[in-house]
Amino acid sequence: MKRTLALGLTLALAPAALFAQSVEISHHHERPGQIGSDETFSGTAYVAPVFAPEMNDVSAGEVTFLPGARSAWHTHPAGQMLVITHGTGWTQERGQEKQVITAGDVVWCPPGVEHWHGATDSTSVTHYAIQATVDGSAVEWGEKVTDAEYGG
């Protein structure tokens, strides 16, 4: 039984090994980013790509929001996963209470659910934003979050 299982695993993994490529490392300093657009962010947000959608139509970006900075309201056709890596921030689904997010938290934003995320008014936050594309689009931007919505 063990021999049959081992042989089965060997045969199943063999084709993948035949097509294996070399490991690639993308160093942080080799992935330059840019300040987020005034059309989609309030305050200062620095956006750096982590990987492009060539990987099964999934992309990721590392986003750092300085205190007071946030995204505009937006949705994702396939949803979005946020992995908070540093600091403390806020996220809010339209019509719901604002939520605190901190380093180590993971936030799932379901497809089509309008939301925003960013720093608190006194702390910065960094997260990885991971999303898939649907018909060539990963995000649909809405209006900016007002100061009243942000502070509320």
**pTM for this prediction:** 0.82
- Which DSSP category does 135 fall into? T
* Cα gap 152→148, rounded to integer Å: 6
Please give the pLDDT value at position 84.
98
Tell me what percent of the residues of the chain surpass a pLDDT of 70: 87
Give tens-digit pLDDT for 22-80: 998 888 888 889 999 999 999 999 999 998 877 789 999 999 999 999 999 999 999 99
Residue 6 has pLDDT above 70, yes or no: no
Question: Is residue 84 within 8 Å of residue 105, measured between CB atoms?
Answer: yes
Q: What is the mean pLDDT of residues 114-118?
A: 98
CATH 2.60.120.10 fits 33-151, yes or no: yes
Q: What is the β-pairing status of strands 80-93 and 99-102? A: antiparallel
Please give the pLDDT value at position 53.
73
